[in-house]
Amino acid sequence: MSASTERGREPAIRVQGIEKSYKELHVLRGVDFEVAPGSIFALLGSNGAGKTTVVKILSTLLRADAGAASVHGFDVATQPANVRESISLTGQFAAVDEILTGRENLILVARLRHLEDPGQIADDLLARFSLTDAGGRKAATYSGGMRRRLDIAMSLIGDPPIIFLDEPTTGLDPQARIEVWDAVKKLAQSGTTVLLTTQYLDEAEQLADRIAILHEGRIIVNGTLAELKALLPPAKVEYIEKQPTLEDVFFAVVGSDGAAGRAGDKTSNPVGTDA
């Protein structure tokens, strides 16, 4: 049996007992989770929970102090080059060159990766992310959602089986968020494994096959949306039946102290915010 078929049955990402401190700040205190191939997994947590730290460790930008992690069957500590070949990472701040057109940005990345027919690769990705009409325009003229979609498209060049999206919609307006969500859903439909981090409950609810809540250095809950909702007592029947939302579950397991945001605030649902 070949190594690749063997690998197909393993989790795309496996994280076991990962710990990480920045000096005295013990950010990750034993993080465990697995991500199935071709699924969308949301790592949900407040600002400062350690989401980016997890992503940096999995993408080999940072070394864990303890524990083990593998990505696409490769150990992040001992096989970092193999891990990097298997992933792409899109951060909160888009790596798009404003001076170039969308198409030129894509061609540039394809050339840097020494791929054949960069023009065709660019056109295919523009079509996939509904950017064909905008492809000839400078990226500087793009809306936030278009720019983020272009950024995700750029990160897909070379067909990495696993993509990390670190807060893909933070700072976007509602319409742009929906555009990015559609792009992420299409990604998973095409077989790419997606690990995304978010502080938005509705984002996890919309996109993820599984949701893990990172809180005080550990994964305190991990399951499907239905499993998470089942953690709460059955819905009470008053005048209408109210099913628990992910927000109810989140505040039930995390507690409604200041760090996790205000449970009573229904006007917006970031778990925590810089502002």
Binds Mg ion (CB under 5 A): choice among 46, 52, 198, 206? 52
Binds ligand ADP (CB under 6 A): choice among 12, 13, 45, 87? 45
In degrees, rounded to 5, the angle at the alpha carbon of residue 236 between the alpha carbons of residues 231 and 240 is 125
Could you tell me if 164 and 35 are in contact, meaning their C-beta atoms sit under 8 angstroms apart? no
Stretch that binds Mg ion, among 30-38, 45-53, 148-156, 175-183 (CB under 5 A): 45-53
Report in angstroms how near the CB of residue 169 gets to Mg ion at its nearest: 13
Is the Cβ of residue 207 or residue 214 nearer to Mg ion in the bound state?
214
For residue 152, what are the CA distances in angstroms to 64, 96, 184, 240?
26, 10, 9, 41
Residues 51-80 that bind ligand ADP (CB under 6 A): 51-53
| 90 scored as a contact of Mg ion (CB under 5 A) | no
Stretch that binds ligand ADP, among 33-41, 44-52, 99-107, 235-243 (CB under 6 A): 44-52
Residue 60 to residue 77: CA distance in whole angstroms: 7
Query: At a CB cut-off of 8 Å and minimum separation 6, what does 24 contact?
Result: none
Query: At a CB cut-off of 8 Å and minimum separation 6, what does 57 contact?
Result: 18, 20, 28, 63, 64, 69, 76
Residue 19 to residue 28: CA distance in whole angstroms: 5
Is the Cβ of residue 31 or residue 154 nearer to ligand ADP in the bound state?
31
Out of Mg ion, ligand ADP, none, what residue 147 binds, judged by CB under 5 to 8 A for its kind, is none
Q: How many positions of this chain bind Mg ion (CB under 5 A)?
A: 2
Report in angstroms how near the CB of residue 170 gets to ligand ADP at its nearest: 10
Out of Mg ion, ligand ADP, none, what residue 45 binds, judged by CB under 5 to 8 A for its kind, is ligand ADP
Q: Regarding beta strands 74-75 and 66-71, do their DSSP bridges make them parallel or antiparallel, or are they unpaired?
A: antiparallel
Residue number of the CB closest to Mg ion reads 52
Residue with tokens 């009409």: 133
Could you tell me if 110 and 157 are in contact, meaning their C-beta atoms sit under 8 angstroms apart? yes
If we measure between CA atoms, which residue out of 98, 91, 93, 192 comes closest to residue 142? 98
Residue 197 to residue 240: CA distance in whole angstroms: 34
Q: How many positions of this chain bind ligand ADP (CB under 6 A)?
A: 11
Stretch that binds ligand ADP, among 43-51, 98-106, 139-147, 148-156 (CB under 6 A): 43-51
Query: At a CB cut-off of 8 Å and minimum separation 6, what does 150 contact?
Result: 94, 96, 102, 105, 106, 129, 131, 139, 142
Stretch that binds ligand ADP, among 45-53, 147-155, 232-240, 256-264 (CB under 6 A): 45-53
* Burial environment of residue 132 by CB neighbours within 10 A (0 to 12, 13 to 18, 19 or more): middle
Stretch that binds ligand ADP, among 22-30, 108-116, 135-143, 242-250 (CB under 6 A): 22-30
Report in angstroms how near the CB of residue 197 gets to ligand ADP at its nearest: 6
Out of ligand ADP, Mg ion, none, what residue 47 binds, judged by CB under 5 to 8 A for its kind, is ligand ADP
List interacting residues with ligand ADP (CB under 6 A): 22, 25, 27, 45, 47-53
List interacting residues with Mg ion (CB under 5 A): 51-52
